[in-house]
Amino acid sequence: MNLILCLQLLCFSLLITLFSKATAINVTYESDRIIYLPGQPSSPSISHFSGYITVNENHGRALFYWFFEAQSEPSKKPLLLWLNGGPGCSSIGTGAVVEIGPLLVSKNGEGLHFNKYSWNQEANLLFVESPAGVGFSYTNTSSDFPTILEDHFVAEDAYNFLVNWLQRFPQFKSRDFFISGESYAGHYIPQLAELIFDRNKDSYKYPFINLKGFIVGNPETNDYYDYKGLLEYAWSHAVISDQQYDKAKQVCDFKQFNWSNECNHAMDPVFQDYLEIDIYNIYAPACRLNSTSSIANDNNNNDPESFTKMRNDYRLKRMRIFGGYDPCFSNYAVEYFNRKDVQSSFHADTKRATNGTWSVCNNSIFGAYNFSVFSVLPIYTKLIKGGLKIWIYSGDTDGRCPVIGTRYCVEALGLPLKSRWRTWYHHNQVGGRIVEYEGLTYVTVRGAGHMVPLNKPSEALSLIHAFLTDKHLPTRG
């Protein structure tokens, strides 16, 4: 009788322990739940969370995230991480409230409106402001910036973020996991994927992350092909003259990590001509609003001495809305996220994070960044052999990371052709082109610039649906 009683007490104790742990975990992420953001529409109902994940306790580095559960069947749908590039641009201020999140910023930062093309129709959607110093993310160690800020540093912090975020949201530990993003995230994403891929092989030392693949848009991939493509795109789209093109071709060796003075002088006029239009969407209108935001001030920078810095420089980035939309969205995001009521509802620690002002892009990150990785193509080769699903897409009106350069990158991989270059359709119109290789799919999006989900939201939603579900984009109108 005593033995039975002891067993009953032991079982009861174990149940209490398990319940306590489950409750603690639940409380941990429930404390990050957003009850209401100022200006948030009352319907449809959106389940979302935001807060900080510590990635390095010794240095006091913490990355800020915003997470949306899928609109339907969140317990079954995959987890999708979105990263913006820069380096130094916010995934929340760009990807979340301008491109693919369910809540988009409204004019003049007065509120939010529902995005009927949000990618959380297809997945549970996670945004993180990376690296520390971007947006609401912070570090307590100032030496992090000038000494160690580079691709591997960013990948390590992003990996630690994922490990710790999955501890806070353990229900997603076994879920299919994908990574997505654009621009300089063309470096971030393959390197993060490689880190996960490698550490998944050592289950004794590292937790398993169920990585299935990644998809990148208008990515920086290989400096040689990217800048060769940039120059050729500018010439082929009548941005620069024959003489400018011939001169740059003659003196520039884009295979060199550091350009010669002759090349810099030849490329200066190319970027100067691009300042008259939007390099990120060459057929889009420009924003003519005056603004105190750092990104707007940089847009108006006409100092010729600054042009040589545009080799990897996003400080002159002019992100615009295409075709019928207000092109000043970045100013609206700045207005919204600098509201005190928004920051309070958003669980943002502005004392440590923003130095008083939140910005879409932190130019000091770029200024301190060590561009040490010339090409991520070897990582593609490795991860393709490892069996990950990999897609690349290009908006074909982007002059900064143009379709020409990305096609050079894809072709350089030397992959066997699986399905020839052909048209895909969207609502009985040409959506773009698609070509499939063994291990990689490449898609173009017709009429979209650097930020495809912004310019062509319906097409972008079809694209991510096809990627996540293994369904084909329609190849008949």
Which of 83, 80, 127 has the alpha carbon at shortest distance from 468?
Answer: 80
CA distance 153 to 56: 11
Residue of 144, 398, 426, 462 with catalytic role: 398
Cβ partners under 8 Å of residue 79, min gap 6 = 123, 124, 126, 172, 175, 176, 177, 178
Query: What is the rounded CA–CA span in Å between residue 425 and residue 475?
Result: 6
- How many Å apart are CA 191 and CA 47, to the nearest integer? 30
* Gyration radius (Cα) of the chain, Å: 23
**Which residue out of 183, 293, 330, 359 is catalytically annotated?**
183
Q: Give every strand in the sheet of 440-445, ordered side by side.
A: 48-56, 61-68, 124-129, 79-83, 177-182, 211-217, 389-395, 440-445, 429-437, 417-426
Which tokens sit at 74? 């969140």
**Does the annotation mark 398 as catalytic?**
yes
Asked if 183 is an active-site residue, the reply is yes
Q: Of 222, 295, 218, nearest to 454 (Cα)?
A: 218
**SS3 state at 190:** helix
- CA–chain centroid gap for 143, Å, is 25
Question: To the nearest 10°, the Cα dihedral for 154, 157, 160, 165?
Answer: -100
- Which residues neighbour 373 within 8 Å (Cβ) at sequence distance 6 or greater? 150, 151, 187, 191
CA atoms within 13 A on the CB side of 301: 22
> How far is the C-alpha of 259 from the C-alpha of 38, rounded, in Å?
48
Say if residues 228 and 192 touch (Cβ distance below 8 Å): no
DSSP 68: E
359 is catalytic: no
Neighbouring residues of 354: CB distance < 8 A, sequence distance ≥ 6 = 135, 136, 348
The catalytic residues are 183, 398, 450
